[in-house]
């Protein structure tokens, strides 16, 4: 196997024997072949668009396939291979329609077939990441693919709420197809990666519209991090539709619902606050789940990445849905209307002990664009008066690497007249510190999930307008972003597309950036890594 798609890639180079994430070789092969099958389907879909054939079922399937291969989403080889088989079936079906309309598709990705597991494994060995020999082309192709994986997740969440954008699917098909096109130059691939950033913005805007249109605008909220005295279900991941269904189905059952990791953002939406059995947030970022899930005592529902292969002590209580999957854990599928039946989880919860308290207190969040813009006058005054000297965008991911303590130390070390704007699970490195406020404005403003980085961009663009600046880079905002998985890649490409410069990325730069590709990002966008807290704070404060 060879995988280098996340920040924890072994030795900052790539996992070759077993993933640091827990992915074994046979799961890695099934993911490689699913990505390849998706590229084949994308080629047919892209060709179809040229002759007027668009199949929304295919677009949805490609989106789900990519999401399935995001780090820590799905460890279930059989489920992944089932998706491969269905992808090949859809490809053949679409090929007939495209050829009838005058389209023409040829090539291995659109012609190969396999039936047995052994055949899939043999094929996987020839189509993985290393199949592209030139390291720069490989780097650019993978940068695009990882961006698309992140985008697919955001699109899937929006689609679950009935929102869609055909242009994004068209781009995804085009870009995936391009990753097998040997005629493209490095410059053309760089341009495609930047174009992915444009669609990243569109995808995040669509999801923002879907979430706020369905559940209202996030508002300032104090979230309890302690426990109550009834049994509970812990819901993790990013899918708000799943949270809605679970809250509805648990109403009046005596079972309470707690959020975990990225689902914390659910606490900020007005539509969810009306449920009295919606308890607080339990635990921390995804990577602590093996300690925290067993203390929760009740069942856990994983709606997306980030799953850690479970310990036996709670494996029978772990359920997956959507793109996530763990062999041996029950997976709950949606019916044809998008409904999911969580009754088995609810019945299990009734017989479980109440959660064991691991923390007490409150955290504050809900600072997405609408809420921050409602406070805009206050924020602008604070900047004009010098009460706020600088903003730090510290969005992104958390992870298990010890080097990530940098972000806790950084949050503590920046001057008291600075404010952190955050989104994604990176916040767990500093959202429980007592960093105080500036004239009533908390020093950590949490917009929500990683996709809510979109909110931070909206806020930055608004500030640019208010201050009458020509360039978003003239604002007193520094970007010190922590990344882990592929959603952070699409967030990064989106920021680059919007013209944000001098983003610092840590705790390490992606292993998939070859030296030449990294140089392009450094030269054109001022991308840099991190060094140590003291030097970095000094450097950032100089503007
Ligand atoms: Fe390694 Fe990350 Fe790939 Fe897992 S997802 S195999 S940790 S590079
Ligand atoms: Fe976190 Fe997985 Fe990326 Fe959504 S939950 S930011 S790592």
pLDDT in tens, 9-42: 999 999 999 999 999 999 999 999 999 999 999 9
225 lines ligand 1 (CB under 6 A): no
- The per-residue pLDDT for range 158-212, each reduced to its tens digit, is 999 999 999 999 999 999 999 999 999 999 999 999 999 999 999 999 999 999 9
406-431 per-position pLDDT tens digit:
999 999 999 999 999 999 999 999 99
Tell me the mean pLDDT in the region 223-250: 98
* Positions at the binding site for hybrid [4Fe-2O-2S] cluster: 238, 262, 306, 397, 425, 450, 485, 487
115 C-alpha vs ligand 2 centroid, how far in Å? Answer: 35
CB of 399 within 6 A of ligand 1: the answer is no
Tell the residue nearest (CA) to atom 3 of ligand 2: 397
Of 17, 22, 23, 70, the one to substitute when testing ligand 1's pocket (max ligand atoms within 8 A of C-beta) is 23
Q: How far is ligand 1, taken at its centre, from the CA of residue 160, in Å?
A: 27
Q: Does the CB atom of residue 20 touch ligand 1 within 6 A?
A: yes
Nearest ligand atom owner, CA of 489: 2
- Chain centroid to Cα 336, Å, comes to 25
The confidence band for 543, taking pLDDT boundaries of 50, 70 and 90, is confident
Calculate the average pLDDT of the chain: 97
Q: What is the mean pLDDT of residues 420-443?
A: 97
- Ligand nearest to the backbone CA of 305: 2
pLDDT per residue over 501-518, tens digit each?
Answer: 999 999 999 999 999 999
Going by alpha carbons, the residue nearest to atom 5 of ligand 1 is 71
Q: Which ligand 2 atom is at minimum distance from the Cα of 450?
A: 4
Q: Return the best residue to mutate from 2, 11, 13, 15 for the ligand 1 pocket (most ligand atoms within 8 A of CB).
A: 15
Sign of the alpha-carbon torsion through 49, 51, 53, 58: negative
CA distance 41 to 87: 7
> Ligand 2 atom closest to Cα of 238?
4
Containing 419, the helix (H) or strand (E) segment is strand 418-422
Task: Give per-residue pLDDT as tens, 204-213.
Answer: 999 999 999 9
Whether residue 9 has its Cβ less than 6 Å from ligand 1: yes
Q: How far is the CA of 124 from the centre of ligand 2 (A)?
A: 27
pLDDT at 229: 97
Any residues with CB less than 8 A from the CB of 136 and at least 6 apart, and which? 186, 514, 516, 517
- Confirm if 232 and 346 have CB atoms less than 8 A apart: no
Cα 190 off chain centre by: 22
Q: Is the Cβ atom of 19 under 6 angstroms away from ligand 1?
A: yes
Tell me the mean pLDDT in the region 125-133.
Answer: 98
Provide residues with CB under 6 Å of ligand 2.
238, 261-262, 286, 305-306, 397, 424-425, 449-450, 484-485, 487-488
Tokens 């060879």 map to which residue? 2
506 phi, psi to nearest 5 deg: -150, -175
- CA dist 84 and 490 (Å) reads 24
- Report the C-alpha gap between 159 and 165 in whole angstroms: 9
Res 258: pLDDT: 99
| Pairing label, strands 418-422, 390-393 | parallel
């Amino acid at each position: 196997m060879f995988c280098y798609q996340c920040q924890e890639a072994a030795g900052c180079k790539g996992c070759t024997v077993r993933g640091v994430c827990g992915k074994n070789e046979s799961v890695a092969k099934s993911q490689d072949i699913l990505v390849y099958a998706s590229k084949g389907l994308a080629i047919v879909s892209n060709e179809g668009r040229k002759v007027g054939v668009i199949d929304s079922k295919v677009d949805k399937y490609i989106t789900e396939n990519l999401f399935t291969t995001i780090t820590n989403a799905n460890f279930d080889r059989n489920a992944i291979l089932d998706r491969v088989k269905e992808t090949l079936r859809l490809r053949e079906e679409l090929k007939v329609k495209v050829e009838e309309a005058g389209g023409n598709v040829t090539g291995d990705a659109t012609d190969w077939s396999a039936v047995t597991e052994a055949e899939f494994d043999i094929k996987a060995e020839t189509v993985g990441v290393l199949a592209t020999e030139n390291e720069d082309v490989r780097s650019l192709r993978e940068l695009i693919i990882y961006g698309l994986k992140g985008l697919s997740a955001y699109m899937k969440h929006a689609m679950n709420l009935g929102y869609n954008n055909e242009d994004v699917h068209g781009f995804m098909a085009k870009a995936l197809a391009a990753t097998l096109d040997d005629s493209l130059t490095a410059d053309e691939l760089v341009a495609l990666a930047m174009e992915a950033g444009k669609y990243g913005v569109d995808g995040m805007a669509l999801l923002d519209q879907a979430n706020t249109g369905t559940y209202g605008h996030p508002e300032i909220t104090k979230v309890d991090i302690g426990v109550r005295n009834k049994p509970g279900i812990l819901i993790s991941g990013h899918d708000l539709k799943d949270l809605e269904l679970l809250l509805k189905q648990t109403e009046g059952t005596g079972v309470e619902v707690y959020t975990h990791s990225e689902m914390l953002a659910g606490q900020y939406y007005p539509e969810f606050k009306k449920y009295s059995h919606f308890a607080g947030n339990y635990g921390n970022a995804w990577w602590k789940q093996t300690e925290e899930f067993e203390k929760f005592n009740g069942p856990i529902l994983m709606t997306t990445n980030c799953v850690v292969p479970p310990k036996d002590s709670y494996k029978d209580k772990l359920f997956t849905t959507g793109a996530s999957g763990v062999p041996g854990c029950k997976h709950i599928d949606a019916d044809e209307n998008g409904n999911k039946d969580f009754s088995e989880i609810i019945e299990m919860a009734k017989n479980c002990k109440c959660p064991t308290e691991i923390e007490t207190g409150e955290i504050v969040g809900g600072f997405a664009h609408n809420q921050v813009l409602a406070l805009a006058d206050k924020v602008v005054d604070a900047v004009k008066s010098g009460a706020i000297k600088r903003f730090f965008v510290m969005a992104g991911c958390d992870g298990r690497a010890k080097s990530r303590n940098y972000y806790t130390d950084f949050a503590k070390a920046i001057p008291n007249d600075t404010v952190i704007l955050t989104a994604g699970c990176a916040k767990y490195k500093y959202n429980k510190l007592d960093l105080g406020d500036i004239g009533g404005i908390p020093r950590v403003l949490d917009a929500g999930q990683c996709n809510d980085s979109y909110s931070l961009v909206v806020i930055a663009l608004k500030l640019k307008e208010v201050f009458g600046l020509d360039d978003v880079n003239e604002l007193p905002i520094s970007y010190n972003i922590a990344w882990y998985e592929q959603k952070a890649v699409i967030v990064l490409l989106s920021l680059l597309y919007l013209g944000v410069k001098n983003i610092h990325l840590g705790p390490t730069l992606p292993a998939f950036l070859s030296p030449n590709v990294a140089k392009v990002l450094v030269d054109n966008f001022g991308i840099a890594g991190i060094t140590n807290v003291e030097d970095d704070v000094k450097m950032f404060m100089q503007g």
